[in-house]
Structure 1
C-alpha cells in the first residue's frame, strides 16, 4: 500500500495508489466500502489504521478502481502539518561522519550513542514544491536525502524486537540545511527549521511494502548529477535501535516522523563545498518508495 495527500480541484484529499502506482483511489471510496467514517487527513487515517486492519483495507483496495490519475493532481507532503517537531538523527552514516569533519562545531568522532535534534516542519512541503533559498540570510544551502520512519501507534519503552510493530510506514525526506546558520548558532535547530526546508514524500509506503529492517538504495541528485549513493543498511544506529532508544523516555505518537540520517555526498562534504544555488533541482530517491524532487528558488 502506498498512501498520499493530494490536491484535486483546489481541495486537499488523502488516498491510496493503485497497484500500478499510476492512479489514485480516494480514501473516501475505501472507507465507504468498509462502512467506516472517512478520516479527514493522513494523521486521522494513521490513528485508526490498526483498528481497521491492513488486511481489510487491502481487500477494499483490490475491489476498487482508481478514479484519478496522478497527472490530474498536485501531490502534497503526505503529512503536511506534523503534530510535533520531527525527530532527527545526526551523523548516522559512517561516511557522512568523516566528510563533515571540517565543519565548525562538528567533530569526526563516530557517535557512541544516537545524536538527536528536532526540526520544525509546519508545514512540510511536497513533491515539486519550491525550496525558498532565503538568500541572502542563508548562503550555505545544503541537501540531505533521508529515510523517514512514520510511527503508527502510541508507544513507550519499545524493545528492539517490538520496533516494527509500532511503525506505520516510510517516506522520503530532504533535510535541507543552512550550514552557515548551523555553525553560527552552534546547535542545529534554526539552520534545519527554516521555512520550506522539509520536503517530504511523495508517498508513504506502508510497512508491509518494506522488509524489516529496511535495506534500501538511497540516492540524491543535483541537476541530474549523482551526489549521494548508499543503502539504509549502512546506518550506524539501525531503526530498531533508534525506536527503542528514543522511546525509552519519550512517548511516541501516531504520525510522529523520525529522520534516520543521511549518507555521504552532501554539499558540505566537497572540497571546496558545493552548496545549492537558486535554480538547482534536487531529486531524492529511495528504493521501493519513489522520488522526491524540488527546485530551489
Structure 2
C-alpha cells in the first residue's frame, strides 16, 4: 500500500493512493493528520479503513509523508563502501574517525525543523558557505515501539519505506566537527513522494537508489550495497534509544555526492535534484 500526505485547505492530511487517486483517510469521520494514527488504523486491519471522497493526485500538493515527528530524524553516515572512501578523501570528516569502512554504524540526527515536502525548494541560499550537497537515501519508518530488538526481529517493527534527501552544508559539517548543524538547516530534509508499506516493498536487496542533478546521473547503487543493513541499523539504535511509531531513519547515501568530485560540485539556486528508489518513486526538489 502507498500512503501519501497532501496539503488540504485546512492543513496536512494523510490518505492512500490507488492508481492516480488520493483517497483521504478518516478517523471517527475526521481527516487523519498524524502518521501514527495511520499506522494504528492499518494495524487494526486494512479492510477496516475509512476513506473520504477520492480526488485526482495530480490536483493535490504532496506533503512529506511523515510526522508530526516526535524526535529528530535518525541518520546513518558512511554506510556505503564507495561513499565512505570518497568521504574520507574529501577532507570534510572532522569527527576524528577517518575509517573508510566503519566498524560500527555512524549515527547522527537532523532536526525535525529540517523536514521538507516533495517539490519544496531547498534553500541553499541560507547556507552562508555555499557548500550545499545532496545525499539520496532510503528512509525507514518505524511501525511499532521497539527497544533492544535483535537484527533478526528488527524488520517486524518497520511500517514502511520512503525516499530521503539528506541535504548537507559541507563546510558547516566540517567546521563544527559534529554534523548536526550542517545537516539541520530549515528545509534540508526533503522526504517523499510517499510511503510504501513494508509488505508491498518486500525484501530490500537489488532495488536501485539513484540521484540526478538537472537530469545528470550522480548516484547509483543497489540497496544491498549498504555496509550496515536496515535490520542492523534498527538493532543498533534501539539498543540505546527506544524507537516509536512514526520515527524516521535515513540509512545512508552511496558514492557520487558533490564532495566526491574534483573539483567539488555543490548545489546552486536553479538546480533540480531528483532522488529515486525502485519500488517507491521519485523525490524531486528545486534548489533556491
TM-score (norm 2): 0.92
Q: Look up the match of 2:33.
A: 40
Q: 2:247 and 2:196 mapped to 1: Cα distance?
A: 15
| 1:197-212 → structure 2 map (5 Å cutoff) | 197-212=188-203
What SS does the aligned partner of 2:245 have? coil
Runs of 5+ consecutive residues of structure 2 not aligned to the other structure = none
Residues 16, 181 of structure 1: CA spacing in aligned structure 2 closer, same or farther, 3 A cutoff? same
Q: CA deviation at 1:275?
A: 0.6
| 1:1-297 → structure 2 map (5 Å cutoff) | 1-9=1-9, 11-18=11-18, 20=19, 22-28=20-26, 39-50=32-43, 52-54=44-46, 56-57=47-48, 67-101=54-88, 102-104=90-92, 105=94, 107-122=98-113, 124-135=115-126, 137-297=128-288
Q: 1:167 and 1:43 mapped to 2: Cα distance?
A: 13
**What are the Cα deviations for residues 122-174 of structure 1, in whole angstroms up to 9, with x where unaligned?**
25111111101134613101000000000001111111221111000000000
**What are the Cα deviations for residues 195-227 of structure 1, in whole angstroms up to 9, with x where unaligned?**
000000110101111122343110000000000
Q: 2:67 and 2:187 mapped to 1: Cα distance?
A: 11
Q: 2:195 and 2:113 mapped to 1: Cα distance?
A: 18
What SS does the aligned partner of 1:199 have? strand
**What are the Cα deviations for residues 234-267 of structure 1, in whole angstroms up to 9, with x where unaligned?**
0000111111121112211001111110000000
Q: CA deviation at 1:283?
A: 0.5
Length, aligned pairs only: 284
Residues 136, 174 of structure 1: CA spacing in aligned structure 2 closer, same or farther, 3 A cutoff? closer
Matched-pair contact (CA < 8 Å) for 1:80–1:122: no
Q: CA deviation at 1:79?
A: 1.6
Q: 2:53 and 2:278 mapped to 1: Cα distance?
A: 24
Matched-pair contact (CA < 8 Å) for 2:173–2:181: yes
What SS does the aligned partner of 2:178 have? coil
Q: 1:198 and 1:123 mapped to 2: Cα distance?
A: 5
Q: 2:149 and 2:205 mapped to 1: Cα distance?
A: 18
Runs of 5+ consecutive residues of structure 1 not aligned to the other structure = none
Matched-pair contact (CA < 8 Å) for 2:114–2:185: no
Q: CA deviation at 1:98?
A: 1.1
Matched-pair contact (CA < 8 Å) for 1:216–1:287: yes
TM-score (norm 1): 0.90
Q: 1:272 and 1:115 mapped to 2: Cα distance?
A: 26
Structure 1 window deviating more from structure 2 (130-139 vs 109-118): it is: 130-139
What SS does the aligned partner of 2:189 have? coil
Structure 1 window deviating more from structure 2 (212-221 vs 251-260): it is: 212-221
Q: 1:177 and 1:265 mapped to 2: Cα distance?
A: 14
